[in-house]
Amino acid sequence: MKEEFREASAVLNNKYVKKWKDGGGRVVGYTCSYVPDEIFYAAGILPYRVRGFGAEAMTIGDTYFGPFICSLPKCMLQLAGQGDFDFLDGVIITPGCDSMRRLDECWRKMGDDAGAHMPAFHFHFGVPHKFTDYSITWFIEETRRLIEEVERHFHVTITNEKLAEAIRVHNKTRLLLERFDAIRSQAGPPISGTDSLAVILAGTTMPRDDYNRLLGELVGGLEKGGDKLNGRARLMLVGSASDDVELVRLIEGDRALVVADNLCFGTRFYSNLVREDGDPVEELAKRSLAHNDCPRMYGEYRERLNRLKEKAEKARVQGVILQNIRFCDLHGSENGLFERDLEKAGIPCMRLEREYGPIVESGRMRMRIDAFLERIG
Amino acid sequence: MRKETREYKFDWMLWTMFDAGAKIKKGFPKEYSTSLGYMPYYRGVIEPMLATGDPGQKFIECCAAYLDNLVHSREKGFKTAITTFCFSPAILYAMDIVPVCLEILSVMQTLTSKRGTTEHLDFCNEVGYTETSCSSQRGSLGAYLAGNGAEIDMIVTDTPGVCDTNANAFAFAAAYLDKPFFSLDMPPELNGARSDAYHLGDFRALIGFLEKHSGKKLDIDKLRTIMLRIRKQDELVAELEDLARLRPSPLPVTYNFMLHASRFLFAGMPECTACLESMLAVARENAAAGRSGLSSGVEKLRSFWCYIDHYTQNLRLWQMLERNNICYQGNILSRSWAANAPHVKEYGTEAAAYELDLSDLDGMVRSMALLNSRMPMIKSIRGPYDAKNMWLEDTVNLAKLHGADFIVYNGTPGCRNTWGMVKMFARDTEKAGFPTYIMYADAFDDRVESWEATQERFEEFLTVRGLL
């Protein structure tokens, strides 16, 4: 069963996407966990988290982006320009960070130049950087605007009933993933951090009903027990977007286990339920925006630090790896603060700056991780 | 950071320099020329500034007065707020809060010190702030993180939604120093009822924050006085912008720098008005005589800087322009988006401008919210660069209005929001008929690219494109 997740997490146009498309289904890509993907479920569209893994060159990315830009959106653009995302019928870009928001213009201009590779539906989804009464009002309106545009473009009707059903289905995923989280962070977990990330990532690239079914079976099975992975250092992985299971594999090697994370492709993606008893659009917007785990939500550092400490304690981690992609100033700087405050709290930390994309510097990273593992014993 | 650097507070050092600079020409000429010998690095700023006559004198006095307020804030009964250049300081002045404008302080240091801000830049990295972040804030933030500046009470910014690295600097400072923090957030669209309501709601929340942390209620009369001065300053800037359209441009090459620095330091305060009035008097005289503002009197080319300048030691950028007889027609910082600005009417961008309503408190707060949302960079870097009222439209329209012969982009490697699209932007400005040069220098840090290399590349661009 883990193979199902591995395939869905490691192949862009995986078999589920192909089957969906073969059945006449439409797929809309999005770049950030602040997009409420319930909207697409309600519209009968497959929401698909755009990623950048597998890019082997940066020629297209570097043509449009400048040099001082995070390699994640560059890899996304590279793949888009190579036609790897041609199965998308739409794409939504958010101002998750400045590098990512400029993917909007880069993708459009690349599409104009190539005369191809630009999905017909394109939407710039504004996400405020704070959680207040007026920013919620604004974001509810923005969410309604997105719904209207999806309805208009795809000739679908997204009713409140459909949204309420989508919320129930997605909450079910979140509850299953919470159970999964408890399993991976238990003493002697039956699953590695590498496989855990694959399981979580698969949820962003396959139909929700299939995912819930597979996840339910996996969680049920793991809860009954399994071969325990003992005798390894327990780590938490924190920082910039990490959607490549190979990075976790490199970190774990045969001496460590990533038993918890605070990544936007990881637990941040599914934390917090959407309330099921209110207006569905309002509740979706509130859940998305209240989700302050990303440093793009300025001024919330203390809350994030406290959550991190809680997670570290709950998962009994022995060390935290604070990684950031080069030019990711938001995570990079916050990692500096985390390092100061977590070390003060007695939690060993290691900061690791890296490039996104093919892991070409595995020797350097391995050496640093080994040294950290020696430090924490 | 070296022990010697910590010997005196960073802002106190700047104050003594600018305070002395404001007095240096008030003695006899011989005293002046002798004194210059004692300031081998700083004289490159003082001399050309004071050579512009009364405007330069007023400008140096403006800087000295600002720094005096900052370093003596406690004695004068003011609170202090670390803030950013694109946040209008008027609301802070209305509440007796001294704006500690990081970027302007960085510029003051880079212009006047041989080592620039390198130690502060590096100190930020030492305490965990990324080296890839923008040097404009880091250059002075390092001093405050090291406790080597005036006491700070709070931190306010307005760049979320516009510039991550900027907003992040202030969020980092708040967390590191454990100070109260408020950020005005900017939606991607400038116009429309939703954005207006958001700007207003946010600004009202800001006032609540400032009242809480300053311990003072917003004084409506004081705010009105300040806004009346802003209205006056907008008129002065509008006339200066209009005069800059003449051929030759009657504006001395440093005017743009002086214009935006004085507004960032003292918007709504008499010091800024005095500086602008003095500049305008000279510009009018030059215009009446048909005289170029360039010291050579010969205008060969007209440059438009679509982003920021290059601030490292001794105004070398402006010296280079002077040497090549190139006049300076503005940058993203120097624009006023008051409704009376010449470009607003000419290009039908009234919706992107602001008007000041002084009728009651509600009108004034609404106006200030609107003004703040139209500050340089805040206005035009928020949405896609090619959207209505955004960077491309502004740049092309302003370059046309000012008869620019070419456009230059310069920033810092920390500027994620412009480096994310400047290649395409430059392609579009080229299509619009403007040779466009992308500088790869760091406006605040010569270690990224030496000034000599920057200058050589710039002049090579002019040669290769047949402009010189």
Of A69, A134, A333, which has the smallest distance from its Cβ to B420's Cβ? A69
Contact A247, A71 (CB under 8 A): no
Mutate to test the interface with B, among A32, A58, A59, A68 (most CBs of B within 10 A): A68
Please, what's the b/e burial string for B93-109 (b: 16 or more CB within 10 A of its CB; e: otherwise)? bbbbbbbbbbbbbbbbb
Give every strand in the sheet of B181-183, ordered side by side.
Answer: B97-101, B79-83, B154-157, B181-183
Task: Report yes or no for ipTM above 0.95.
Answer: yes
Separation CA B227–CA B269 (nearest Å):
9
Per domain, the residue ranges of chain B are 1-468
Contact B406, B420 (CB under 8 A): no
Separation CA B54–CA B61 (nearest Å):
10
For A41-51, the pLDDT digits (tens) are: 999 999 999 99
Cβ distance of A126 and B175 shorter than 8 Å: no
Q: How far is A95 from chain B (nearest CA, A)?
A: 7
* Residues in A 7-36 with any Cβ partner in B closer than 8 A: none
* Residues in B 291-320 with any Cβ partner in A closer than 8 A: none
Mutate to test the interface with A, among B154, B165, B183, B421 (most CBs of A within 10 A): B421
* C-alpha distance from residue A304 to each of A268, A307, A343, B78 (Å): 11, 5, 15, 32
Q: How far is A46 from chain B (nearest CA, A)?
A: 26
* End-to-end CA gap in chain B: 44
Cβ distance of A124 and B385 shorter than 8 Å: no
- What chain A residue is nearest to B185 in terms of C-alpha separation? A129
Q: How far is B381 from chain A (nearest CA, A)?
A: 10
- Chain A residues within an 8 Å CB radius of B197: 134, 137-138
Looking at residue B354, the DSSP 8-state letter turns out to be B
Q: Return the pLDDT at A180.
A: 97
Cβ distance of B132 and A327 shorter than 8 Å: yes
Q: How far is A214 from chain B (nearest CA, A)?
A: 39
Cβ distance of A133 and B201 shorter than 8 Å: yes
Contact B81, B70 (CB under 8 A): no
- Chain B residues within an 8 Å CB radius of A135: 185, 198
Tens-binned pLDDT, residue by residue, of chain B (468 aa): 999 999 999 999 999 999 999 999 999 999 999 999 888 888 889 998 999 999 999 999 999 999 999 999 999 999 999 999 999 999 999 999 999 999 999 999 999 988 899 999 999 999 999 999 999 999 999 999 999 999 999 999 999 999 999 999 999 999 999 999 999 999 999 999 999 999 999 999 999 999 999 999 999 999 999 999 999 999 999 999 999 999 999 999 999 999 999 999 999 999 999 999 999 999 999 999 999 999 999 999 999 999 999 998 889 999 999 999 999 999 998 878 999 898 898 888 888 999 999 999 999 999 999 999 999 999 999 999 999 999 999 999 999 999 999 999 999 999 999 999 999 999 999 999 999 999 999 999 999 999 999 999 999 999 999 998
CB pairs under 8 A between A and B: 153
Of B133, B160, B197, which has the smallest distance from its Cβ to A333's Cβ? B133
For A150-208, the pLDDT digits (tens) are: 999 999 999 999 999 999 999 999 999 999 999 999 999 999 999 999 999 999 999 99
- Chain A residues within an 8 Å CB radius of B385: 105
* Residues in A 107-166 with any Cβ partner in B closer than 8 A: 108-109, 124, 126, 128-130, 132-135, 137-138, 141
Q: How far is A341 from chain B (nearest CA, A)?
A: 10
Separation CA B153–CA B169 (nearest Å):
16
Cβ distance of B420 and A339 shorter than 8 Å: no
Of B165, B188, B417, which has the smallest distance from its Cβ to A126's Cβ? B188
Q: How far is B165 from chain A (nearest CA, A)?
A: 7
* C-alpha distance from residue B41 to each of B33, B36, B38, B279 (Å): 14, 9, 9, 25
Per domain, the residue ranges of chain A are 14-158
Q: How far is B131 from chain A (nearest CA, A)?
A: 9
Residue B191 forms contact with A (CB below 8 Å): no
- What class does CATH assign to A14-158? alpha beta
- Can you read off the two tokens belonging to residue B222? 């004081």
* Residues in A 300-329 with any Cβ partner in B closer than 8 A: 301-302, 324, 326-327, 329
Looking at residue A127, the DSSP 8-state letter turns out to be -
Cβ distance of A68 and B181 shorter than 8 Å: no
Separation CA A226–CA A150 (nearest Å):
44
User: At A159, is the secondary structure helix, strand, or coil?
Assistant: coil
Cβ distance of B132 and A332 shorter than 8 Å: yes
- What chain A residue is nearest to B132 in terms of C-alpha separation? A327
Q: How far is A312 from chain B (nearest CA, A)?
A: 20
Of B127, B167, B419, which has the smallest distance from its Cβ to A67's Cβ? B419
* Residues in B 405-424 with any Cβ partner in A closer than 8 A: 413-424
Of B129, B163, B202, which has the smallest distance from its Cβ to A333's Cβ? B129
Of A73, A138, A324, which has the smallest distance from its Cβ to B187's Cβ? A138
Helices B164-177 & A329-344 angle (0-180, nearest 10)? 10
Q: Amino acid letter at B177?
A: L
Separation CA B269–CA B94 (nearest Å):
10
Predicted confidence band of residue A1 (pLDDT cuts 50, 70, 90): low
Q: Residues for chain B: how many in total?
A: 468
Handedness of CA A287, A70, B188, B86 (dihedral sign): positive
Q: Amino acid letter at A204?
A: T
Cβ distance of B417 and A102 shorter than 8 Å: yes
Residues paired with A92 in a beta bridge: A30, A123
